[in-house]
């Protein structure tokens, strides 16, 4: 009986909130039919634009989890998105700005794998 009395006492305080929620729009989106835009500073997928990469190993050295392997001989960079903690340290310190951090995220995957970015051979200049 005490509880009932208490609830009745509280009810008037709740009325403005109930009315506000009744007439305002939903606070959530109808995922997966509707998706929110990612925030601009989101740390999403990493990709390498190898055009200006000089295979200096800086990104490999700075990566705290060893997600990057630079292969100078094969002129390629292997990146493991499953090891990456998306700290952006590599992208912020690449002298040639080769690492692009997008606002898209990797879809969940049942199979782990790596991404390989190869440096295309630049034809020697004819002199």
Residues that bind ligand SF4 (CB under 6 A): 46, 48, 53-59, 62-65, 67-68, 70, 84-90, 94, 96, 98-99
Comparison of 14 and 95: residue with beta carbon closer to ligand SF4:
95
Q: Cβ distance 102 to 44 under 8 Å?
A: yes
Backbone angles phi, psi at 21, to 5 degrees: -70, -30
- Shortest spacing between CB 121 and ligand SF4, in angstroms: 16
Comparison of 7 and 44: residue with beta carbon closer to ligand SF4:
44
Comparison of 12 and 113: residue with beta carbon closer to ligand SF4:
113
Distance CA 12, CA 89 (A): 53
Our measurement of the distance from residue 120's CA atom to the centroid of its chain's CA atoms, rounded to an integer in Å, reads: 27
- Shortest spacing between CB 36 and ligand SF4, in angstroms: 23
- Shortest spacing between CB 119 and ligand SF4, in angstroms: 9
How many C-beta atoms surround the C-beta of residue 69 within 10 A?
A: 16
Comparison of 58 and 114: residue with beta carbon closer to ligand SF4:
58
Burial class (CB in 10 A: 0-12, 13-18, 19+), 114: middle
């Amino acid at each position: 009986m005490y509880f009932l009395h208490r609830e009745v006492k509280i009810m008037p305080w709740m009325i403005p909130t109930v009315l506000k929620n009744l007439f305002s729009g939903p606070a959530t989106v109808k995922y997966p039919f509707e998706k929110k835009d990612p925030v601009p500073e989101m740390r999403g997928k990493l990709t390498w634009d190898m055009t200006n990469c000089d295979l200096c190993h800086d990104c490999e050295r700075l990566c705290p989890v060893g997600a990057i392997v630079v292969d100078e001989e094969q002129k390629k960079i292997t990146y493991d998105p499953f090891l990456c903690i998306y700290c952006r340290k590599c992208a912020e310190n690449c002298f040639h700005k080769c690492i692009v951090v997008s606002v898209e995220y990797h879809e969940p995957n049942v199979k782990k794998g790596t991404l390989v970015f190869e440096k295309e051979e630049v034809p020697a200049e004819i002199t």
